[in-house]
Structure 1
Amino acid sequence: MEPKISEKAWNPELEKKILQQWEEEKIYDFTPQDDNYTIDTPPPYPSGRPWHIGAAAHYSQIDMIARTARMAGKNVYFPIGIDRNGLPVELYTEKKHKIRMRETERGEFLNLCRDALDDLEAEMLLIMKSLGISGDFANYYRTDSKEYRALTQSTFIELWKKGQVYLANRPNNYDWVSGTTIADAEIMYEDLATKLVYMKFKIKDTDQEIIIASTRPELLCACRTIIVNPDDERYSQYIGKKIIVPITNAEVELRTHHSAQQEFGSGAVMVCSYGDQNDVALFRELELEEIVAIGLDGRMTEVAGEYTGLKPKQARTKIIEDLETKGLLDKVEDIVHRTPVSERSKTPIEIIPMEEYYLKQKDAVEKIKKLGQEITFHPPMHKQILMNWLESINIDWPISRRRYYGTEIPIWYCKSCSEPHVPEPGKYYRPWEEKCPISNCTKCDSTEFVGEERTFDTWMDSSVSPLFISKFNRDDEFFKKVYPASIRPQAKDIVRTWLYYTLLRCEQLTGEKPWSEAWVMGYGLDEKGMKMSKSKGNAIDPLPVIEKLGADTFRFWSASEINHGYDFRCNEQKIESTKKFLSKLWNVSRFLSSFPIIKSGKLSASDKWILAELDNLVKECKKGYEVYNFFIPAIAIREFTWNVFAAHYIEMVKARAYGIEFSDEERDGAIFTLHKTLSTILKLLAPITPFITEHLWKELYSKDSIHKEKQVMPENIEDQSEITKEIAEFNSKVWNEKKSQNLSLKDSIKIEIPESLEPFKKDLKSMHNLE
C-alpha cells in the first residue's frame, strides 16, 4: 500500500502556506460572548534589532497558552500590542542619526523616533507571525497611538480628580545619561569594583582625629553630619563634638544613629546629600540642610569648589590624590560595592532633589498584597517577587519624566499664578504644543497658560494594557464581557514594574484586580549561562533560526527545554537537535497514512496495552496544560511517541496491520489503534507545534483545522505500565541477541516468550520472527 503522505520529510516551508490558510479561514477571530478568556499579552518593545531568541521563546509559549485555552473550549481573546514609548527608542534614534534629543527640535525628534519604530516594529511583527502566534494581528495596538495615549491621560485625569496625584520636590533617583528621574522599580543593583577611601577627620580644637571610610569621597562638600552606632564605644568620647571635614574644612557634629554599622569601614559614617537612599532617609529624619553637589548634567556643582564641572568619578580620583598630598589619607581599599544602576542606561544613578509629580502608592500596599494573594501564579514561587517588592515600597511613585517620546502629562499652568489645570478626559493632549483647552484660570481668571513639557513614566502607559484591550471608557458592553482579563503572561524581570503597576493602577481605576492568573517565565540565557542582551553582544537573532529550522522546531525546543519559571540556556545546536523528534513524528504519520481510517475493530492485548499507555499520556499532558507548563506535555509526548509507540507498539503490530497471517478483525483492531493513537498525539501536541500537527491532521483525519478540536480527555483505562517495562525488556533482549549473533532484525531466532507476555505472543512472534 502506498502512503497517502508522499513527502519523505517535514518541510518547514509548508509553514508559510499554513499561515496563509489560517489567515484566510480566520480561525482565530474573536467574537465576544458572555464568558471569555482574555490574555493581557505583553506588548514587546522594538528597540534596536528587535528581540533575542529568549524573548521569541517566551512569546511562542504565550501562544501555547492561547491554543491550550481554545482546545479547552474557551472563547479566547488574544490581543497583540507593540510598546512604543520611552527611553530605548530615544537612545536608538540619537545613535542612529548622531544627534542629541535636547539639541533637536522636539517635533522633528519625535518624527525620527516614530520612523525608527515603524521599521523595527515591522520585523518584530514578522517574527511573531512566523512563530505561528495566533493573536489578533489585524487589530494590533500601539502604545504611542492617539487612542492609547488618550487612555493614559484620561486615567491620570481621573486619579488627579480623586486626589491621588501631587507635585513635590524630593530627592529622586536620577539617570544623568538619559536626563530624567527614574522610579525605584527601574533600578537594578550590580556589584561594581570601587575604592573604599579611609580619610582623616580632625576633632575641632584637639590634635585628635577619627578615620571615616567612604566609597564617595567626592561628596565631602555635601557632608552635613557624622554618625556612629550608639553601641560603638570607640567614639563615645566624641559624641556632640565638632568634626572638621577634610578638603572643605566645614564643621559638622558627630551624632549617634542605629543605622551606622560598626563592622563596615571604621564604623564612623559621613552623611551627605545624597550618596544613597540611606542618606535620603537620614536627611529627613535629622532635618539636615541639603547641599546639591551633583547637577542634572551629572557633574559636580559650584559647591564642589575646585572640583566643579568634573564627573563624580573624575572628582573622586582627584580628591584621593589631594587627600594624600595633604596627609589626610589613611588608606584605600579595592572593594566590590553593590551599586544602584539605571536599568535603561546601565550607569550608576545619582540622587538629586527635583520637583516631580507623584502617584500615591504607599497607602495601597496592603490592598495590593491582598489582591496579589488572590492571583494564581504559574509557577507559584514567583508570587514572592511581587511580595518582596511590596515590602520594599517606602515612597510614592514619581511618574513624571524629562524626556520627549512618551505620553505627555496633560497639564497647563496659569501664566499669572501658576495654578495647574487638567482638561476633560477623552482626547489626546500635547500641552507643549497645543493651546490650553480651558479658557480662564479657575484661581485668578487669567486667560494665558503655559503647557507642561514633561512626559509620563512609560509604566503609566503599560500599566493600563488590560484596560485598553477591554475598551475601558470606550465600549461599556465589550468591557463588561472581557474584563477582568483571565491571565497575564510575562517575564519575571518585570514583576516589580509591569505586573505591580498594573495591579496598582487598575485597582485604583476599577476597584478590582485586572486578571485572576499570572504566568511568569524565566530569563533566556546564552550557552554560558549569562543573561542575553544586545549590549553584551550575546543575543541570538531568532528570525534566521526560524527561517532555517522552522517555527515548530523552535517551538518544540522552547517547550522541551524550558521548565516553566526557570532560566534557560539558548543554543542553536540544541534547537536543531529537536528537529529529530518532528522527523520521527513525520515518519510515523507517513507510515500510518498507508492504512485506511477505521472507526472500530477487535482489540488485542497489544492494542489495549498501548491505549492504556496513551491514556496515561493524556493524563500527564492534562496535568501540564492545566498549569501552562509546556515542558510536561512536550517531554511526555516525545517519550511516548518515540520510545513506546514507535519503538515497540508499531513494530509489534506492523504485520497485523498489513493483514499478514492475521484475520481481518485482528488487522482492523491494529489499524484502528494506530490511528487513534496518532490522532490523539497530534491533538495533544497541537498547542506546542501548530504547523506540523495541522498539516498531518488535514492530510489524515479532517478537512477542518486541528485547532478547532477540543482537548483530549482521559478515559481512565486501567494502568498497564508494568507490562510496558516487560515488553521493552523482552524486545531489547531479542534485539541484543540478534545483534550478538550477527543476525538482521528480520532473521528468525528461537527465544522463549515469558509467561507474563503470553497475551502478546502472536504480535511478538510476528515482530521478531520467533521460531
Structure 2
Amino acid sequence: MIEPRIKEKVWDASIEERLLEIWKEEGLYRFTIDESRKPFVIDTPPPYPSGRPWHIGAAAHYAQIDMIARTARMMGYNVYFPIGIDRNGLPVEIYTERVKKVSMRSVGRERFLELCKNALDELEHEMVAIMRRLGLSADLTNYYRTDSEEYRALTQATFIDLWHRGLVYEATRPNNYCPDCGTTIADAEVVYKDMPSKLAYIRFRVEDGSSNSNSNSNKDGGDGEIVIATTRPELLCSCRAVIVNPDDGRYKHLYGKTAVVPIYNTMVKITPHPSANMDFGSGAVMICSYGDHTDVQLFRELGLQEVIALDSNGLMTSNAGKYAGMKVKDARDAIIDDLDKMGLIVKVENIMHRTPVCERSNTPIEIIPMKEFYIKQLQFVNELKDIASKMIFHPEMHRQILLNWLNSIAIDWPISRRRFYATEVPIWYCKKCGKPNLPEKGRYYRPWKEKPPFSKCSYCDGREFVGEERTFDTWMDSSISPLFISKYASDERFFNYTYPATLRPQAKDIVRTWLHYTILRCYQLTGKAPFERAWIMGYGLDEKGERMSKSKGNVIDPYPVISKYGADTFRFWSASEVNLGYDFRCSEQRIAGMQKFLTKLWNMARFISSFPRVEISKSLQASDRWILAELSLLIERCMQGYREFNFFVPANAVREFVWNIFAPHYIEMVKARAYGQGFSKDEQDAACYTLHECLSTILLLLAPITPFITDHLWRALYSSRSIHLERFPEARWEKEMSRYTDAIVEFNSMVWNAKKSSGKSLRDQIAISIPDELKEFSKDLKAMHNIVT
C-alpha cells in the first residue's frame, strides 16, 4: 500500500490559524500600484460596531465580499481591498447611553465623546478579530476609521467644496424628527411598520352661515356635522383644513363650508382633494402641521399657516392649551377622554396602522419645522437615474430598489444633526453680522470647541465668532468612502489608478441611503459615478425566517461558531446557502452540516496524494476522458457564477461534482488502475494524471470560497507558493464524453443495488453484462465491480 503524502487523517481547523500567520508573513495580499495590471477596487462597507455581537448574517456578508476579492485576483486583477470601521452617528451614541447608563446631554459633550470612543474601541476589537478569523484577504493592520481626524477632515473638505459651488443651503422646513434620538433624520432613515393604534371618529360641527349652522343633527356627513377619523387627535390644535375625496359623494354638499375644530373652536375649510382616502375611516381627513408627509405637501399646496403642536423634545407646545408639556401618547389619551365626555366621540377602533418610525431607535417620528443645512439633490435626480441605469447590478433585480428611491425623492437632503459623536459642521458665525464663515480645506475642525482659523469676518469687520454646534448626518461621512480609499485630493497618482472603484458590495436595506448618497456626493465632487458595479446581498434570517437584528435578540454570535467549526466550514455554508441578492436563513445546524463536505474533500485529497503526479499521459482511457469532459463542464459552470460574483453557483456545482460524480464513480472506477493492479504502466499513469488534474482543478475552483483547506492542500501537493497566487483553470478538455454520464451513473447504481439485494459486499464478484454503449469503459468497470463473465 502506498503511503499518502497528506499525513493528517482529518482536516483540523486549527491549521487555519497557522495559515493566517503564513499569509501575513508572506504579505500575500499587499496592494501596490501596478500600471501593467488592471485594478479591481472594492469599496468595502465599513461595518458599524454599534453593539455586540456582530451577527452571523453580517459575517456571512463579509465572507462573501472576501470571495469577491479572491475571485478578482484569480482573474488576474490587481486587487485593492481596503477595510474600514464606521464609527460615526446615532447607533454608537444609543449604544453608549445604554451600556454606560448615561444621557448624552447630561454628562457634557466632551465626556460623552470620550465614552463613545471607549465603547467603539471595545467593539471594534471584536469585529476586527472576526474579520481576521474569517480569513479576509485585506490589510487588517491598516484599516481606516470614519471618526479619524483624516477621514473627518475629508468629510468637512467636501462640504466646503459643495458650499462654494452653491450646492449647500440652510432653511427652516418641516423635517422628520426622532424624539428619542433628539435630531432631524432624512427620509431615507425612516421605515414604516404596522403598529397598534387607536382610530378615533370625532364629530366636527359644520357651519356655513345659513340656518343649518347651529344644527345638532347627528347624521354622518349631514350639514350639522362631519365625522373625521384620525390616529392623531393630539394634533387637533394644529388642524388647518379638512379634505374629502372629490369622488366621495357623501360630502359634495359640504364643499366650501367650515368645520369647527373641537376643543379649540378654530374654523377650517372643507375642501375636495384627491389625497383623501375615502376607504379609510370616515373618508374625511383633517390636515394638521404636521401629522405626516401628506400634511407637509398640502400645507404648501393650499397655502396653509402652520401651528406647531410639538417641540423638539416630543412634547406638546403651548398651542395645545391644557395639554401643553405632555408626551404625545399622554396627550392623545387625554384628548380622546375629553372628547368622549363632550359627546364628540362616535367610536374608537383599535387598528394596526402603518407608522413611520426611526430606523435606529424604532420610535415613531414626528414632523416639526427645524432649521437645517441641505445638500441639493432634486436637481441631480435625472443624472443619478442615468448613472443607475448604466451601473452593473449583481443581481440585476436590485437595480429597481435604487430607481424606486430616485423616483420618490421629493426634497433635498437635510444633512445637519443635533448629536455629538459625528463630524462637525465646519462653520463659525460672525457675532456682528451673523453670517457663516467657513475655513480653508485641509484639517479637521471642531467649531463648538475651537477658535476659528481666521481673525476677521469675510463679510464685515467683525472679529468675534460663535462656532456651529451641529454635526453631519453619518451618511455624509460614509458616502465619501470611495474618495477616501482612493486618496482623493491627497495622492493624485493613487487616485487616478483606483477611482472610480470597480465594485460596491452592500446589503439591500441601505440602497436608498449609502448607495444613493455615495453616487450623489461623488458625482457632485468628481463628475463621475463612484463605481462600475453594485453587489447587493439579502438579509440574514433566523431559523423561523425572521430578519436577524440586535433589537430582536435573535442574532447568532459568529465568533464561537467559526471557532468551533472553522472559517472554511462557515464560508462554504455562506456560499452554498446564499443565492446572491436573496434573503437566507442562518442556523448552526446547517453550518455544522457543511463539515461533511470538507471531510469528503480532505479524504479524497488524502487518497489521491498516495499517487504520484505525472506529466500528461498520451494513453488517457475512456474513463479519464469522460471525467475530464465533466471537469470542463464544471469549470464553465463555476466561472459563470464567479463572473457574476454569485458564489452559490460554484459552491454547489463543485459539491455536486465531488459528491455525486467524481468520488463515487470516477475514483472507484480507476482505483485498481491507479494502484497498477492488472493494468499497464501507461494506463496507471493515465489514472494518476487524471486524479491529480481533477483534484488540483477542484482546489482552484474552491480557493475563493474555502481559502484555508485549499491552500494547505495546494502547498502540500502542488506548489511551494500559495494557491491564492494562481489563476482560475480553463475548460480545455473536450466535453463530448459527458454524454456517457447518465449511463455510467445508472449502471454503477444498478450493480451496487444488485449486490446489496443479494447480500453481497461491494468487493464480491458479480456476473453481469456491461451495456454496449459502455463497452469502452469495460476494463475499468470490471475492476471496479469485480465483474466476472
Q: What is the letter of the counterpart of residue 569 of structure 1? A: R
Decide which of 300, 306, 311 is 1:290's aligned counterpart: 306
1:256-295 equivalent positions in 2, closer than 5 A = 256-295=272-311
CA contact (8 A) 1:4 1:590 kept: yes
Structure 1: how far apart are the matches of 2:206 and 2:725?
Answer: 82
SS in 2 for 1:711: coil
Q: What is the letter of the counterpart of residue 45 of structure 1? A: Y
CA contact (8 A) 1:274 1:280 kept: yes
What is the aligned length?
771
CA contact (8 A) 1:406 1:456 kept: yes
Pair 1:661-2:669 in alignment? no
Structure 2: how far apart are the matches of 1:620 and 1:386?
Answer: 30
Q: CA deviation at 1:264?
A: 2.0
Moved over 4 A (4+): none
Q: CA deviation at 1:177?
A: 0.1
For each residue in 1:685-740, what CA deviation from the matched residue of structure 2 results, as whole angstroms up to 9, or x when unmatched? 00000000000001111110000001111115133333111111111111111111
Q: CA deviation at 1:341?
A: 0.6
CA contact (8 A) 1:198 1:332 kept: yes
For each residue in 1:557-595, what CA deviation from the matched residue of structure 2 results, as whole angstroms up to 9, or x when unmatched? 000000110000001000000110000000000001111
Pair 1:625-2:642 in alignment? yes
Task: Name 2:219's counterpart in structure 1.
Answer: none
1:295-306 equivalent positions in 2, closer than 5 A = 295-306=311-322
1:39-118 equivalent positions in 2, closer than 5 A = 39-118=42-121
Q: CA deviation at 1:225?
A: 1.1
Q: What is the letter of the counterpart of residue 686 of structure 1? A: A
CA contact (8 A) 1:613 1:719 kept: no
Decide which of 585, 602, 606 is 2:601's aligned counterpart: 585
Q: CA deviation at 1:263?
A: 2.2
Decide which of 478, 501, 505 is 1:462's aligned counterpart: 478
Task: Name 1:614's counterpart in structure 2.
Answer: 631
Structure 2: how far apart are the matches of 1:266 and 1:347?
Answer: 27
Pair 1:352-2:353 in alignment? no
Structure 2: how far apart are the matches of 1:566 and 1:625?
Answer: 17
Structure 2: how far apart are the matches of 1:442 and 1:285?
Answer: 38
Higher deviation after alignment, 133-142 or 672-681 = 133-142
Task: Name 2:214's counterpart in structure 1.
Answer: 206
Q: What is the letter of the counterpart of residue 8 of structure 1? A: K
Q: Give the TM-score, by structure 1 length.
A: 0.99
CA contact (8 A) 2:393 2:534 kept: yes
CA contact (8 A) 2:171 2:374 kept: yes
Q: CA deviation at 1:318?
A: 1.5
Structure 2: how far apart are the matches of 1:97 and 1:363?
Answer: 44
Task: Name 1:6's counterpart in structure 2.
Answer: 7
Task: Name 2:159's counterpart in structure 1.
Answer: 156
Q: CA deviation at 1:50?
A: 4.1
Q: Give the TM-score, by structure 2 length.
A: 0.97
Q: What is the letter of the counterpart of residue 641 of structure 2? A: G
Pair 1:685-2:671 in alignment? no
CA contact (8 A) 2:430 2:466 kept: yes
Structure 2: how far apart are the matches of 1:731 and 1:363?
Answer: 68
SS in 2 for 1:138: coil
Structure 1: how far apart are the matches of 2:275 and 2:717?
Answer: 72
Structure 2: how far apart are the matches of 1:442 and 1:755?
Answer: 95
Q: What is the letter of the counterpart of residue 398 of structure 1? A: P
Decide which of 176, 181, 186 is 1:183's aligned counterpart: 186
Q: What is the letter of the counterpart of residue 715 of structure 2? A: K
Q: What is the letter of the counterpart of residue 768 of structure 1? A: H
Q: CA deviation at 1:666?
A: 0.3
Higher deviation after alignment, 365-374 or 597-606 = 597-606
SS in 2 for 1:101: coil
Structure 2: how far apart are the matches of 1:297 and 1:641?
Answer: 63
Pair 1:375-2:388 in alignment? no
1:228-239 equivalent positions in 2, closer than 5 A = 228-239=244-255
1:523-534 equivalent positions in 2, closer than 5 A = 523-534=539-550
Q: CA deviation at 1:640?
A: 0.3
Task: Name 1:332's counterpart in structure 2.
Answer: 348
Structure 1: how far apart are the matches of 2:498 and 2:701?
Answer: 27
CA contact (8 A) 2:625 2:737 kept: no
Higher deviation after alignment, 458-467 or 326-335 = 326-335
Q: What is the letter of the counterpart of residue 577 of structure 1? A: G
Structure 2: how far apart are the matches of 1:52 and 1:236?
Answer: 56
Structure 2: how far apart are the matches of 1:415 and 1:339?
Answer: 42
Pair 1:33-2:34 in alignment? yes
Pair 1:491-2:489 in alignment? no
SS in 2 for 1:178: coil
Q: What is the letter of the counterpart of residue 515 of structure 1? A: F
Structure 1 residues 98 and 718: alpha-carbon distance in aligned structure 2, compared to 1, 3 A threshold: closer
Q: What is the letter of the counterpart of residue 53 of structure 1? A: I
Q: CA deviation at 1:510?
A: 0.2
Decide which of 592, 601, 604 is 2:621's aligned counterpart: 604
Structure 2: how far apart are the matches of 1:750 and 1:254?
Answer: 95
* Structure 2 alignment gaps of length 5 or more: 208-212, 216-223
CA contact (8 A) 1:472 1:479 kept: yes
* Structure 1 alignment gaps of length 5 or more: none
SS in 2 for 1:63: helix
For each residue in 1:406-458, what CA deviation from the matched residue of structure 2 results, as whole angstroms up to 9, or x when unmatched? 00000000011110011000110000000011211122211000000000000
1:664-675 equivalent positions in 2, closer than 5 A = 664-675=681-692
Structure 2: how far apart are the matches of 1:269 and 1:119?
Answer: 51
Task: Name 1:425's counterpart in structure 2.
Answer: 441
SS in 1 for 2:752: helix
CA contact (8 A) 1:358 1:397 kept: yes
Decide which of 743, 750, 753 is 1:726's aligned counterpart: 743
Structure 1: how far apart are the matches of 2:391 and 2:459?
Answer: 45
Structure 1: how far apart are the matches of 2:351 and 2:712?
Answer: 60
CA contact (8 A) 1:616 1:719 kept: no
Higher deviation after alignment, 335-344 or 717-726 = 717-726
1:367-406 equivalent positions in 2, closer than 5 A = 367-406=383-422
Structure 2: how far apart are the matches of 1:306 and 1:107?
Answer: 38
Structure 1: how far apart are the matches of 2:323 and 2:738?
Answer: 78
Structure 1: how far apart are the matches of 2:336 and 2:471?
Answer: 40
CA contact (8 A) 2:53 2:556 kept: no
Structure 1: how far apart are the matches of 2:738 and 2:355?
Answer: 55
Higher deviation after alignment, 395-404 or 208-217 = 208-217
Q: What is the letter of the counterpart of residue 177 of structure 2? A: Y
Q: CA deviation at 1:193?
A: 1.6
Q: What is the letter of the counterpart of residue 88 of structure 2? A: N
Pair 1:450-2:466 in alignment? yes
CA contact (8 A) 1:592 1:674 kept: yes
For each residue in 1:278-334, what CA deviation from the matched residue of structure 2 results, as whole angstroms up to 9, or x when unmatched? 000111111111111111111111111121222111211121111111100111122
Structure 2: how far apart are the matches of 1:611 and 1:763?
Answer: 16
Identity %: 63
Higher deviation after alignment, 629-638 or 282-291 = 282-291
- RMSD of aligned alpha carbons: 0.9
Structure 2: how far apart are the matches of 1:483 and 1:253?
Answer: 57
Q: What is the letter of the counterpart of residue 32 of structure 1? A: I
CA contact (8 A) 2:614 2:685 kept: yes
Task: Name 1:19's counterpart in structure 2.
Answer: 20
Task: Name 2:220's counterpart in structure 1.
Answer: none
Task: Name 2:221's counterpart in structure 1.
Answer: none
For each residue in 1:489-517, what CA deviation from the matched residue of structure 2 results, as whole angstroms up to 9, or x when unmatched? 10000110000000000000000001101
Task: Name 1:130's counterpart in structure 2.
Answer: 133
SS in 2 for 1:285: helix
Q: CA deviation at 1:382?
A: 0.2
Task: Name 1:739's counterpart in structure 2.
Answer: 756
Structure 2: how far apart are the matches of 1:32 and 1:468?
Answer: 16
Structure 2: how far apart are the matches of 1:120 and 1:718?
Answer: 52
